[in-house]
Amino acid sequence: MTQQGKGQGSQQGGAQSRKRALISVSDKTGVVEFARQLEARGWEILSTGGTYASIVAAGVAARQVSDVTGFPEMLDGRVKTLHPAVHGGILARREPGHLGQLDAHGIGTIDLVCVNLYPFRETVARGAAFDEAIENIDIGGPAMIRSAAKNHAGVLVLVDPADYAVALQDDVSPADRQRLAAKAYRHTSEYDAAITAYLEGGSDELPTALPGTLTLNLSRAAEVRYGENPHQPGAIYRLGGAVGPVIDAQVVAGKPMSFNNYADADAAWALCQELAAQETQAQAGDPVAVCVAVKHANPCGVAVADDVKTAWERARDADTLSVFGGVVAVSAPVTLEAAQATRGTFLEVLIAPEVTPEAAAWFAEKKPDLRVLVAAAPQGISVLDVRPLTGGFAVQERDARPWDDLCPEVVTARQPTDQEWHDLRFAWAVVKNARSNAVVLARGGVTVGLGAGAVSRIWAAERAVANAGERAQGAVLTSEAFFPFDDVVRLAASVGVTAILQPGGAKRDPEVIAACNELGLSMVFTGSRHFRH
């Protein structure tokens, strides 16, 4: 240490009588008032850079950290707090041995560290260049936070403005000190996870690869009464700083969401948005209304129409039994007329891009238990699909393949009609969002029969056909995986199905195609399987 550094530090050594706080924050929410209140309680305040300027400009007395270390900020601010006069004051245990060493070197204790970090994630999110992102990787900040958290028995560590009030108590309990320390380590671990993901080619919300080590940065976003069943505790967590359409939806009416509500609403909204984009493109940009009803994570009624009311009525009538107690998503604003059309059907959740004030008021009065959500279109959805295993996770890229990524091939003598092509494309979007094995029958932009989660493909087809009844006449059929036999074709033909879409690729494809030609059906191969377990 230079003589200048030691001389200035010695004034804060063993004879130090005032508590000292080091404040250096990127998020300056409430920091001036916090510093003012610390000063009123007799604390000495150390600070750096922009934080120091803000505090002093507000009339709060503060010393720059460089006055304590005896060294100016260096390397464009990369080095300013990495010094024994700072870290010694933070890390020293409040016992004679450590305090004696501080006194011998003219170092005073630091009793509160209020730090949050350079805005790395925000910098990346606004599309900054690589070099700028790297400059927003904080080094001294995490070091101070971790040092204070390690020594939390003697040092208060604050990373969140919401906790400033805790530090202003006359006596902060050991439990609160430990809680703040845990929060501090979580803060730095999330920060490191974001940097790691960025350097690996993605972001903390949107990793673009399957790296050797995958960090899932989860923070609790919502509490629920229980999980799938009453005996299972549950909660909803956010991945990094991601915005989720359902997690962040505005609740405009109804009860709090349950664990199952979140899962089903997410599934319904994803399919609804996918279909809306697909149908709008097919209609050359003309607006359409899509309604998706989901029950136990499977679509049970899906329809397209010119308006929300009609789309809802068609989706409801596709399977009036299964839609009871279901979750419904629509792609266009819900008007009072559309809201009133739900009268007589018990629903758990309705999610839409907009709900008019009149409709929201009607729901609140007539359906007080119905959760009504307003959500935004999905943006920046994680490319990863993560599923739990005992002792680990199965991780894959999400199945986000659009129709335009396919190369559909007609493999039969008969070509699909224009209407059949439209229905095949519509039903393909539905079947790839249903649990395997899955078969969907559709006609005129409405699902008329669904079979999902079956252990046999023919059983899935039989369930879909039974669900359709007479509506199978003139319908199309889609499957998310190939046909190992021609049994599904023969069943479909027997009830009046006219066109089939499937991935193809089975050993018995020639037999399956021959059965279609024999029975006069069209068949399209997509070359793309869409298992969903």
Among 296, 366, 530, 533, the active-site one is 296
Among 6, 98, 105, 150, the active-site one is 150
* Strand, coil or helix: 474: coil
Q: Which amino acid is at 105?
A: H
425-450: burial string, b at 16+ Cβ within 10 Å, e else:
bbbbbbbbbbbbbbbbbbbbbbbbbb
* 150 part of the active site: yes
Distance CA 312, CA 335 (A): 12
CB count in 10 Å sphere of residue 292: 32
Are 420 and 476 spatial neighbours (Cβ–Cβ below 8 Å)?
yes
Give every strand in the sheet of 63-64, ordered side by side: 63-64, 44-47, 20-24, 112-115, 156-158
CB count in 10 Å sphere of residue 73: 17
CB count in 10 Å sphere of residue 251: 13
* 19 part of the active site: no
Are 423 and 442 spatial neighbours (Cβ–Cβ below 8 Å)?
yes
Distance CA 205, CA 193 (A): 10
Are 362 and 385 spatial neighbours (Cβ–Cβ below 8 Å)?
no
Distance CA 338, CA 156 (A): 55
The secondary structure of 214-226 as a DSSP string is ----EEEEEE-S-
Burial of 128 (0-12, 13-18, 19+ CB in 10 A): middle
Rg (CA), the chain: 31
Contacts of 487 (CB under 8 A, 6+ apart): 458, 461
Dihedral (Cα; 35, 156, 221, 381), 10-degree rounding: 80
Residue 328's alpha-carbon distances to 294, 306, 339, 447, in angstroms, are 6, 17, 12, 15
Catalytic positions? 150, 296
